[in-house]
Amino acid sequence: MTKAQSVKRGIHSLALLSALVLAGCSSTDPNLNLPSPAKTAGSPEQEIKQAYKTSAQNGPEVLISAADNNGSYNNMRRALARSTLPGKNSIQLSEWVNFFPYDYPQPQGRIPFAANGEIAITPWNPNTRLLRVAIKAGDAQTSTERRAVNLVVLVGGEGADLSLIKTSLTHLVNQLTPQDTLTLMSASGDKGVLLEPTTGDKKDKMLSAISSLSSGKTIQDSSRLTEAYTLAKDHYIADGINRVILVGNSTYNAGFSTVQDASDFFANHPASQISLTTLGFTASQFSPSSLAEVAYVGNGVHQYIDNIRDSDKVWDEQLSATQTPVAKEFSMKVEFNPTYIKAYRLLGYQTPSEENSNAANSGVVVTGQTMTALYEIIPAGSSEEWNAEQYGFIGTPSANSYLRQTKEIAMMHLRYKTPNAQSTPQRIELPVPESQMNNTLDNSSKDFRFAAAVAAFAQQLKDNGASTGAFTLDDTLKLANEGRGADKYDLRSEFIQLVGNAQNELPKSSPVKGQGK
């Protein structure tokens, strides 16, 4: 190589790295170029994995899966970024609340979950109380230094936002170190592997492969996914993070024609060896996502991405958490004490459709995963009543509950199995003491207040204040600002801005509008 060629190559590499750094430091509003909000003609309940089963005797039993969607929140953001309100049928309160990271304590000892309950006077109704149930699965990443990662990214470019995908992958490359390995594959074209397994110090090579991604027609079988798992296993990093990541539009199905095909495939690729993540870059309609279903069947993690801020958060999670299964068939039920509680309602979780009622309880929980559930409760002796349809399922504590003899408001019952094939059900019980019953909102945690603000906003937009009374968006903004706290990815600040956007779009006659700007 001549000196001139060497200098030219050095300048080329420097230009690529400069573009990489600029992409990571851009101050452009990430919501400026969001796509149109998704259509809402479909049945949103069919895609919800944050669900509950219920009976008149037992009340709601909340189910959880690592493949929970964040599509409903993204759809709301896309609508408000375009100065429109989201469709009421697209609003899923549980997804909105669980979109945000919270500072929940790590579990102690051998129990894979930490759980705690926090209660305070309900912001929108001083006659009721709001109970937040917070659950966190232990994170196996205990070292202060990040583990080495071995990532195989398979991109289905057909119908996807390739520009955002390329920008997102560029941000990923910016975080890789020489200890890491990246493989890039395409689900279209004659050549599947665009980048052979490459260490993180060869960023110019990685960026060149990213730029070659195209939107050709995807192949209609799972051979590329098989190859992705083979490459991940061939370059397996002991005590590292080894992961296959599927990237594409929400309709990308990785070559599986049926759910059974996917089940058969993942039976031979256990997530304990190579974990799975699926990333849907925007969704064209609010209907069941093929990528989310692949993640669900493959015991993986699924998320939507429609701006670069979400991308940063997701890649940080992919590089810092092992996301390996710690439990399966997880469910949580809260039993209330009739001595203290007259009635209760679970906010936002959906009743699974009849055909999915069994599958809804088969999801796997991974390391680091959190879940937040909110209950509004009427204290015993109160004259408060819930009669209207917008309140959803209303539960009443069993008169024969053993809690009647205790000083507990409620008992959280967690049920799960370990990931082992033949494991038996495990149970954990955690109490909510009576001493918290009259806790004021001012004495609640910032996480509690912010989650309450998100829940209030979802209800305000969905039923125009029917379930939140005189609580306006002015009140929601105040509550969200009080709960902003640490905001690593500016997601809470963005939420506050979105509430303001909604306030501008609501008609003056809306009972939830408030004073506005």
Output the pLDDT for position 489: 84
Q: Is the pLDDT of residue 147 over 70?
A: yes
Give Cβ neighbours of residue 357 (< 8 Å, ≥ 6 apart). Answer: 53
Closest CA to 62 of 309, 314, 335, 255: 335
Confidence of residue 359 (pLDDT cuts 50, 70, 90): very low
Secondary structure (3-state) at 260: helix
Residue 65, φ and ψ in degrees, nearest 5: -140, 150
Contacts of 339 (CB under 8 A, 6+ apart): 380, 403, 404
Q: What is the CA radius of gyration of the chain?
A: 24
**Number of other residues whose CB lies within 10 A of the CB of residue 380:** 14
Task: Please report, for residues 93, 275, 340, 504, the alpha-carbon distance to residue 512 in angstroms, rounded to integers and kept in the order given.
Answer: 17, 44, 31, 11
Better-scored residue on pLDDT, 41 or 144: 144
CA distances to 33, 120, 471 from 343, rounded to whole Å, are 45, 16, 21
**Would you state the pLDDT for residue 141?**
54
Q: What is the model's pTM?
A: 0.84
Residue 413: other Cβ atoms inside 10 A: 15
- Beta-carbon contacts of 278 under 8 Å, excluding residues fewer than 6 positions away, are 67, 245, 246, 247, 291, 292, 294, 295, 300, 301, 302, 303
Interatomic CA distance for residues 218 and 194, integer angstroms: 15
Chain mean pLDDT for the chain: 83
> Who wins on pLDDT, 25 or 207?
207
Q: Provide the CB-side half-sphere exposure for 433 (13 A, CA).
A: 3
Q: What is the pLDDT of residue 290?
A: 84
Helices 491-505 and 446-463: angle between axes, nearest 10 degrees = 30
Residue 286 pLDDT greater than 70, yes or no = no
Check residue 453 and give its pLDDT. Answer: 98
Torsion angle (degrees, nearest 10) of CA 300, 306, 309, 312: 30
Residue 462 has pLDDT above 60, yes or no: yes
Chain centroid to CA 148: how far?
24
pLDDT of residue 143: 53
pLDDT in tens, 420-436: 767 788 898 989 999 88
Within 13 Å, how many C-alpha atoms sit on residue 229's CB side? 19
